[in-house]
Amino acid sequence: MNEHAVDLGNGYHKLENRTNGLVGDGWGATNDGAPARQQAWNGSTDQQWLITHRGDGRYSLANRTTGLVLDGGGNVSSGSVTKQRTWGTSTNLLWTFTKV
């Protein structure tokens, strides 16, 4: 994902795509494996993400509405859908940030 985290000043962030300006949106998903999508910013809690440091420079990104975290899917092809899952021990749920 070509996104950057924008601090909303309330403990949450919006994950904004640098190319198209859309933000990560959990779409109110409640089941493991539901896709995260992109949407124009509207300020809903579906578009707010809690970034939690999990050690070694890795983070989980949990949706404010549902608490599900972004799942990179592991060894998947470029362009694969980013899904949401209940927090667990899988490294697929961990993300790193790179300053650009």
Please name the residues in contact with 99: beta carbons below 8 A apart, sequence gap of 6 or more: none
Are 7 and 23 spatial neighbours (Cβ–Cβ below 8 Å)?
Answer: no
d(CA 93, CA 91): 5
Number of other residues whose CB lies within 10 A of the CB of residue 7: 10
Where do the domains of the chain lie? 3-93
Token pair recorded at residue 34: 């539901």
Per-residue pLDDT of the chain (100 residues; tens, 9 = 90+): 567 899 999 999 999 999 999 999 999 988 999 999 999 999 999 999 999 999 999 999 999 999 999 999 888 888 888 999 999 999 999 999 888 7
CATH code reported for the domain at 3-93:
2.80.10.50
Helices (H) and strands (E) in the chain, counts: 0, 9
